[in-house]
Structure formats: structure tokens, C-alpha cells
Amino acid sequence: MLTQSQFSQIQFQAVLNHYGTFYSIMKAIHFVDNVTVQLTSDGVKIIAEEAKSVQATAYIMKNCFSEYKLILPRSTNDDDEDDPCTSFGLNLKVFTDCLSMFLGGDYDSSLKLLHKGEGAPLIVVLEQHGEDDLVTECSVKTMEPLEVLDFDFEDAHVFSRVNIKAPDFFALLSDLDRFCEEIEINLSPNNFRLITLGELHNESNFEITNSSDMLISFNCTATSTNRYKAAHFRLVMKTLALGSKIALRTNKDGLLGMQVLIETGDNAQMFVEYFIMPLCEGDETMAEEDTVI
């Protein structure tokens, strides 16, 4: 356990009274072993990226924590306009294995995170509240932060903004051909169309009209068609199963952004934002099956 003198050296300390949702999010973005953690004055960001083609960022906002203290390092660059933060790399499998120790059963469990600064391990303190309060402490080795792409949507280049009820969109994606290799998204001012493309050239077409009950809002200024790996959508579904709303955006380059809003039991919200790079343009195809929603 940490001694009193070691506590005085802590630069970051945060407490989640109920961390079940946080654990589920960490499991959902565990499609790579190593992630980058950024500690900011607004909360914690955990970034997972694979092959520069898909990126997931979990945002655990400051108001999700019952306690949040962070001492940020002073910037030595006066021209640095980025928000100051402390960053380090972390093995997500080891981290989630630690979190899983006190989950399950009828008892509430809380999570405390502690970090002393650059090069120090992340201390994970779990406390199970019940007849016999149990406490365990894990020390997770950190590493240099990974280089990740900085995806940024400029408002002038955003072609579409679509807010969808997450349970409905999850159900729609679940109905797609699980063996398809690519998904084509066709957005126009009138509708939102998904086309699945399989290796045997089988296709199915799902159309969501701009008046569909599953839509919260629909704003599309130009028609666009882009293809993406179906495997990347399957990654998003793990988070989508937890969400209440998904905000979808595309830009002029076909970059797809999907932000999933996740409600917690403490009247707070967590977000996971995905960025998916489009595939190169393929041959023009026609749909064999057509389903309108």
C-alpha cells in the first residue's frame, strides 16, 4: 500500500464510486493491447488506435468522478495552444484484468486511480463495500505514450450530421450480414443508406429515411458515398450496445466519426468517439435487397 509520504507525491487522484460502466467501456475499446491515456483538467481520455485506420477515444468527464485532482506539468513552450495534459501508455488488458477483480456479485465497488507523474506506474485501488469491506491495490506499469493520429472535423468540411437512437442503430447493424466484408454508406438530404458487400458479391440495402423514428436529428448538405471495413463497424457495436445516442458525421474526405453517448447511474455521461478511415473507391455496385426503415 502507498505510504503517507508517497501520497504527498501524487499528481493525479480520481475516484469512481461505481465503475461498472467504465469497465464495460474499457472492454469495448480493447481491440488493441496498448492504449494512450491523457489526463486533463476536463477528465480522462483513453485512446485506442489500430493501423492508422480506426481510432476509439473514451472520454470519462470530470463530473463522472466523485473526486478528481490533477496537478498538470507547466508547459515550456509558450506557443503551445493544445490543452495541457499528462500522457502515458498503458496495457489495456492488464488494466481491465485488474478492474475485473471486484465486479459481479451483489456488492458495490469503487475505483480509485493514482499516478505520481512521468514514468510512474498507475495505481489502481479497488474497494468492495459489503459486510466485510475488501480493498486491493494493483500497480500497472506505464510506458511512453503512443503516437496517434489527430482526427479533427472542420465545420466547413462536414457534409452530414446525423443523431440516431443507439438501441435502434445497434439493432439495425445486428441485422446486417455478419459475413460481409465492406459497408457502404450513402448519405443524401433525403435518406441514409447502408449497403453491405460480401465476398460472393451478395449485397443488401438498408435505407433510413430522414423522417424515420430512429433518428433524433438529420442534417445532410450534400450527397456522399463511401465504403468502410465491416470489421470496424463490429468494433463500434461493442460500445453501441452500451449507448443511448450516437452522433454520426462525415467530411469531404469520407472520414466517418461516430460518437456514442453512454448514460451512467450517477446522472453523468461518458462518451466514446470512433474515427474510421474510408476504403479506396471500388467498382460501382447495385443492391439486390432493399429494406426501407
Instruction: Convert the pLDDT of each residue in 38-75 to its tens digit.
Output: 999 999 999 999 988 999 999 999 999 999 999 987 65
Q: Give the count of beta carbons closer than 10 Å to the beta carbon of residue 51.
A: 7
Instruction: Convert the pLDDT of each residue in 245-271 to its tens digit.
Output: 999 999 888 899 999 999 887 678 899
Sequence-ordered list of residues with C-beta below 8 angstroms from that of 78, at least 6 positions apart, any chain: none
Mean pLDDT within 214-238:
92
Q: What percent of the chain has pLDDT over 90?
A: 58
Q: What's the pLDDT at 150? A: 87
Instruction: Convert the pLDDT of each residue in 96-117 to its tens digit.
Output: 999 998 887 667 889 999 999 8
For residue 277, pLDDT over 80 is answered with yes
Q: Give the count of beta carbons closer than 10 Å to the beta carbon of residue 244.
A: 12
Q: What's the pLDDT at 219? A: 92
Confidence of residue 37 (pLDDT cuts 50, 70, 90): very high
Mean pLDDT within 211-219:
92
Q: What percent of the chain has pLDDT over 70?
A: 86
Torsion of CA 216, 220, 223, 226, to 10 degrees: -60
Q: What's the pLDDT at 179? A: 80
For residue 286, pLDDT over 80 is answered with no
**Of 51, 275, 277, residue with least CA distance to 182:** 277
Higher pLDDT: 247 or 156? It is 247
For residue 77, pLDDT over 90 is answered with no
What domains can you pick out in the chain, each with its CATH number?
12-143 (3.70.10.10), 155-276 (3.70.10.10)
User: DSSP characters for 90-129?
Assistant: EEHHHHHHHHGGG-SSS-EEEEEEEE-STTPPEEEEEEEE
pTM comes to: 0.87
For residue 215, pLDDT over 70 is answered with yes
Q: What is the DSSP letter of 146?
A: P
**Of 122, 61, 56, residue with least CA distance to 86:** 122
Q: Can you tell me the distance from the alpha carbon of 279 to that of 273, in angstroms, rounded to the nearest whole number?
A: 19
Mean pLDDT within 21-32:
95
